[in-house]
Chains A and B, each alone.
Chain A
Amino acid sequence: MRHRASLSLCALGLLTSLNLQAAGVRSPSMLANTCAGCHGTNGTSAGAQMPSIGGMDNGYLFSVLSDYKLGVRPSTIMGRIMKGYSDQEIWAIAAFFGEQPWVSTDQVAVADRIHAGREIHERQCESCHEDGGRGQHNESPRMAGQWSGYLRYALEICRDIGRRCHPNKMGERVMALSDQEIEALAGFYESEK
């Protein structure tokens, strides 16, 4: 499954780079630099609920941005913005941020919270979010070193929409978490640089 998805993304990537030769095509940096006003230069956010996106898996970014465009992922403003781009442009934006270095926040969390969060992580999350949330692929974003404000917000939304959270198994697991558990998880990931 995962394999097939990345193959088709490669094909799309090839298509885009061919398109780039054509006149009237907007370059990845031209498109992506407009995001920095909210997400920071090259996608490194200055906080606190705004996620860093530079250095995230391009396949993951592509699917999230497309879901915003299609209105299947809840958002305040991203849905309105992504409707302004073609699928090829969304791929170009995802590819641009995928190539940037990941920069972890410099925030530290309370030790108790980190330990509580690690326990939940090892029990329920590590199978997909490997290496303390450092591992990433097109269905699981990097979480280690992400702003805890954003992680909390994203987990709360996922809990709210339950099975509609993508992928399903994510919704099923997050649905059962308490506020304290979500806070602990968010603190744990933020402290994993």
Chain B
Amino acid sequence: MTDLQRRAFLKSSAVALGAAMLGVSPGVSAAAPKARVLVVGGGFGGTIAAKYLTMADPAIRVTLIEKDPVFLSCAMSNEVLSGERDLKDLTFGYRGLARRGIAVVQDEILEIDPVAHFIRGASGGRYNYDKLILSPGVSFRWDRIEGLTQEVAERFPHAWKAGPQTLKLRQQLEAMEDGGVFIITAPPNPFRCPPGPYERAAQVAHYFTKHKPKSKILILDAKDAFSKQGLFQAGWKQHYGDMIEWVSGASGGIVEGIDPKTGTLIGQVEEFQGQVINPIPHQKAGTLAESAGLTDASGWCPVDQRTFASTLHPDIHVIGDACIAGTMPKSGYAANSQAKVCAAAIVAAVSGAPTPEPSYVNTCYSLIAPEHGISVAGVYALADGRIVEVEGAGGISPSDADDRIRAVEARFAHDWFRNITADMFT
């Protein structure tokens, strides 16, 4: 080491020590750990990977690095738009994980060195790893809708990451006059939460029906079909009549630009004017995955679907929205399930055991009205190296279910949220 290098190293380790510890972790032993695993991203995937690694093998030293002091869940955030839920019900802290012996650090990771096996944070901190797990979620493609930039999105919120954006959209809906038009633009596949835009339309319609019954909701879609489509369209009609109109890509729903001055959306065929506009941007893997060279031409991360090890850098695993996971959707439940498979594979790898045979599940509930829930489920297995749905299993709620079943599913939706967040944070 040259003097300069040594000085830089000392400096960065000092900062690393100073990086905010979000919780105290008892029982950190001085003995050499079996392996050092870093998990970046404390959301649906990352929290579960950290927790299940620790549960399966306490001899592994697990550090969870998250840029924000608390987590804000996107799931159930459409209920904030309808006024059924407060943002603070979607906010979770990391104490429960720290109590499990996981070191929780607040830092934004900016750089990954896959060869030397370390990462570096905005705090200047440097963290070494034997295995690295990334669950950074999605980032937005600001080059796909002309005029839609990150600054413009401050005025026309996407609310596709929960937090200030969600509140801003809620405020705009509250300020809108009765009789106004609310426009959602739905992105092309693949994107985070395939049923999300359509649940959002229903939740906003629920609010409009009570407070602004003359208003309209227009969904301009880049696609010609969407998740649970039949159930959504029947539910919209049942509760909200003609309030919600869906325009498919083929019938002019594809939006190519936005004029921020006039609030006009420029479609392939015609222009659309709305009082509140919610353009949901096209998506790709989280910025960190891209800058670390973990993405392919699709913008997402190719992985070995048995272990979630990147096919580009094998000691880095990518889970959740950012990865390519066969036919699994980009959902919180899928991220949770992938995290467990990934944790089991890493435990086996550092113990010299054979890679376990994986099992995955997805379940997504959507709320059309407070007493009307619908669901989609999928059971997945690995076949020829690809995650595929087990035939004959899974599927959506029956189209002819009665009101009581819909109400039961609405309650199960809320119970799902209680349980998955308890699985993440306790």
Interfacial residues, chain A to chain B (CB-CB below 8 A): 23-27, 29-31, 33-41, 45-50, 76-77, 80-85, 149, 153
Contacts and interface: CB of A to CB of B under 8 A. Distances in A.
B359 interface: yes
B259 interface: no
28 contacts: A26-B356, A27-B344, A30-B341, A30-B356, A33-B52, A34-B359, A35-B361, A37-B333, A37-B419, A37-B420, A38-B363, A38-B415, A40-B422, A41-B51, A41-B422, A41-B423, A41-B426, A46-B418, A46-B421, A48-B418, A49-B412, A50-B419, A76-B375, A76-B397, A77-B409, A81-B393, A81-B394, A85-B393
Interface string B212-239: 0000000000000000000000000000
B338 to A, nearest CB: 10
A34 B412 contact: no
Interface in B344-365: 344, 354, 356-361, 363
Contacts of A153: 408
Given A37-B333, A41-B422, A153-B408, 19 more contacts: A29-B344, A30-B359, A33-B340, A34-B361, A35-B361, A37-B337, A38-B415, A38-B419, A39-B419, A49-B408, A49-B411, A76-B412, A77-B363, A77-B397, A77-B412, A81-B377, A83-B392, A84-B390, A149-B411
B90 interface: no
Contacts of A36: 336, 419, 423
Nearest to B396: A80
Interface in B212-271: none
B409 A76 contact: yes
A41 B55 CA distance: 11
A113 to B, nearest CB: 20
A76 B421 CA distance: 22
Interface in B395-426: 395, 397, 401, 405, 408-409, 411-412, 414-416, 418-423, 426
Given A30-B344, A83-B392, A77 B356 contact: no
A24 B381 CA distance: 11
Contacts of A50: 412, 415-416, 418-419
Contacts of A38: 363, 412, 415-416, 419-420
Contacts, number: 116
B379 interface: yes
A158 to B, nearest CB: 14
A45 B415 contact: yes
Contacts of A27: 344, 356-357
A54 to B, nearest CB: 12
B161 to A, nearest CB: 21
Contact of A85 (B356, B379, B414): B379
Interface string B180-197: 000000000000000000
Contacts of A39: 419
Nearest to B44: A37
A44 to B, nearest CB: 8
> Which 7 pairs show the lowest CB-CB distances between chains A and B?
A84-B379, A84-B393, A50-B415, A34-B361, A83-B393, A84-B390, A46-B422
A37 B381 CA distance: 17
B393 A34 contact: no
Nearest to A30: B359
Interface string B368-400: 000000010101010000000010111101000
Nearest to A32: B359
B415 A81 contact: no
A34 B357 contact: no
A38 B414 CA distance: 10
Nearest to A81: B377
A156 to B, nearest CB: 9
